[in-house]
Structure 1
């Protein structure tokens, strides 16, 4: 996929001085910081912070930021708005466990893949108190965005919407749950005084808040699954709408879902799982529940074991199932309703295990290979097993008005099976969402709403299909709304600051949206059109697009693959494979299987199927001529409604990012993060900033930064007395820089600077002044340092000379004095010290010598005694060892003798046993040889019989070929006969039309004859008796003869007259059971048959949305029974 990079500032080489910090781009590492080393003809040599040197062109580099290393809370405060600065600032915050960063009003959330302790009650209270004062007073946080929406709703009295987007695994689901947690707490605690809460609504509000929070586990279980990128990936989009009253308290909520991934129910890729609820049922169901569901371990089911992952590390499916059951109870589903729902889910698992195979060679069609599984499915779905089997094995078509059943092939039957599973799960999921909304939706009581939208992010895989086109189309629409919203904010800020700017140009994705949704030549329109053709295929659809859209700037055909097309999205070019587009858009469910599901005795399944059909046809009583809304059309309508909601709401944006693809904590991949920033649209907002005045500096910051331009004037009172705006204007004038018109504009509170101006002239002028001043300061310092050093040397020389002279005098005097003292001391020492000490030393030496001799003799005696004891101890150890060895050898010999005796006895027994085995083996060998000879003889006989059968079959095959050729010749002659038959049919139709009047008169006469027998002749004062009166009298006679114990309740009368009936006949409804129906039928037979040629012909079953119905079909026949008129009379609805 082709990636788009932000259009960066490409400065002139002259501004890139040696030593200047820059950002350089590499395809593997993204943006990294470096410094300019040298300028060369073929580029600029830079050195990265890691010490690597590389040669780059000015087009691959950007000016470095001087504030990004601080990890700013708001990226809009960066002095340079480029990708490298954004990546550096986000990295600094991520390494400090600050996972949230603001980009103006937008919040960036980076998934830490570890627990971060910043979601406590105390944190919510901090943001509730200070969160609405702006990002300057608090750190960016998900609670800050939620509080911003809540405060805006209270202040502006306007609906709010928080849009959460990002790739799979970026943390969108967790962000949604945290926002809902904060809003339910905030909206329930904002009116914590008694006067603020309604007296009769406190408990209801608490219940709604709990239902909102508990709906998350339910939706995650039914709509989330493990993928290779995320262990809890949402496979559908959802919009939570919190409904608030005029006191800002929650009174209700509503959930809207978008584009559930139905294909995951029947197929999962390697390393992925199906939806969580299936694994939770298998792991957490009780023994009684599993017996009712007939389920066992998850690995036994085809739908669950395809990906090879049955469990998720760190997730307890059994515990999660208990949480889901508790949450279902909270949202209002009782045990019986839950039981029915889990039975349907278990049926889907069993449907996946159905297998199909060809029948025998003599029979056509296929059959179910495991009928016991089919029986289980029928019992769990509560449908007729025979009809279910027919629906799975064949499809019904009407050819020339006749019903024809066409058997499936095994592969087609598997596709029909999977379609059934997807339809049931989708119907159940939509029914579950309606059930959740039924308990929470209080739209009549709400005044304002806060929406939380969790929608899928832009997707581009190796293989992109129909789902990716829909998802990326939704992202295109939301991206367009995102850009237009912030473009409006940008213009509003310029207007507020009194700054006039030219028209801001930015990359718009309108052309891409037109390519996808325009009529009649958009991608989706052509897809819808192709789906209406019976013989339409993916290839014909691609041919039409190639013929009509080739010149479109956002459409392209790949050079190699002829079964794909390319759409140039705002986030990059995506190649779509056309395989399966028409099938997925049609989302066709076989009519026979729909009929089977409609006759289910399970009320839950019946409601789910009926609501799904009503949604697809656009209403409960859609006419037969209405066509089903296809998937692309439905999704397009849903996006239009969503955008209408966003247009009437104040949006707040949360962009979730993944720090790395490995889902590891403390690992930041810069290129991966920048790629997601491009897809999220944040860099487009920066592009809008860069198109105007991308650098916005507060007035005081500008003065402190460029105060050097004022030089000595900064100390004068005249400069200090100026207003901040005038000070900035004075500094710009004193800078000496030649400015283009409108390069720098001073607003009311900020200075607006175009980025190329900031990166070049102003900084260069400031650096020149600082460099000149630094040179003068260095010269003065060097002069001062030289003077100080010379004075120190001179003073040192004088001190050294004085010291040398004093030393010489003191040495001469000292030598004379020392010689005299030495002679005197020597004489005194000899007389008074040396002689007495010598005598004492001689005495001490003698005493010491005697003591040392005594000590040596004592030590020698002790050594001899110790040696003797050591020798004796060694001898005793040797003796003890010999004794122990002798005893041990005797004991071992005794044990060996006993063991030898036992082994001898055992050997004798084994020898006897071996002889027996040899005899038995010989006997078996003889018997086997005899049986083998017998079997060979029988096989030889059978082989000869088979050869005879083969010859006979070959002859029969030749005869069949001859018959087939004759049949083909006969069919060729049938064409002429068919033309003759059509002419005969036309003649018969004309004859039928001519004789209708006679039939009608004959029937009227027969009806009046029956009236005469019933004594229904009119009196002179009454109106004449009509055919309707006579028929009504006959029905009343039948009803009067019913069992009095069975109530017959007449209901509203309704007329339904067949087009072929010449008279107006009454039509009434009565409510009765099956047993009453057959009594009525029997009485009609007996009572009516005696009054002319009128008979009850049959009873017909009907299936309506209100339940099952039975119709009574009466035939009015002439006396000779050759003419008859059928009338569908009373329709009887039974329980």
Structure 2
């Protein structure tokens, strides 16, 4: 498989005695060395490497995996020696802080020890340059990485403007190419990157099988799962303790697992929905029964109240009618009594007058009869004396009685005529009273019927809305 090999670039930096770091450390040991002489040495020693390109005026280029980078040798030797100026040591020794004074004394002691050492010790001190320290730290880091199983996190810069939610596709693609992500993906696809034990695989995908098969040992369960989902044999390898999968096979199993879980969730949702709907229907039916009972009880109570009100209204109407009828009867009775008293008074006065007149007529008649008797006795005596008998006075007396009887009869007839007229007047008044009573009764009936209609309408609306 083809991939970008960075061995030449690494040898350019790390090659023993002829690498860039070794040449920089060697040039730093010469007292008369300069940055220009260091650039010429690099040009002589490294011109044969394809990753090195020499430039003018002490500059050179190195072809890294991400591209060419230009370096300037100005200040390389000074930075590599990393000397500490005497003024800095004097400044630290003059500080009031005890720690700074301790650092200054240690550095002075180190410088004195270096000056008294032999050439071999001086050579060892030169190894403590920046480049040597960097190589030692890098070697230590590589030892730690080789002794562990590290996982790297490669950060990708989304854009060069440092704005959120903005992606520059060319920049991201360039970084992925430079980091070797595509090569890593190709390498992982050609091998078996996914490795899982039989126990873990069986615990994860056991539920996809029948219960009889799922109860077997983990190896049998793993093989049964692979055969059920038709995984090609070239896409996996079965070991003694683990299963090895190529890229994308576990995703297919996870997809099948997700589909199974979705189906299970769908069945659970349907069952729970059915259970909830049945519970809701039961609660709804119970609530409706309770509501109907409460509404019926309230309606019955309201109907009882309406019946009581209707009975009270009927009782009030009855007492009102009785009162009105009693008042009317009392008025009519008073009028009748008044009429009777007037009539009886009139008749009594008339009778009294008749009796008085009769008495007066009797008194005058008795006087006349006395005078007549006296005259008759005298005339009878005379006639007897003369030999005559009294026949004419008897006839006249009878005639007077007849006339009186006729006069009394005419008076009685006139009295009867007057009584008839008064009776007709009383009958007319009574008929008028009866007509008024009928009109009042009809008005009371209409009012009563209207009140009953209003009560029935109110009762109907109450029953309808309650």
Mark yes or no: TM-score above 0.5: no
Structure with a larger share of its residues in helix: 2
TM-score range, shorter chain: 0.3 to 0.5
The one of the two structures with greater contact order (alpha-carbon pairs below 8 A, sep at least 6) is 1
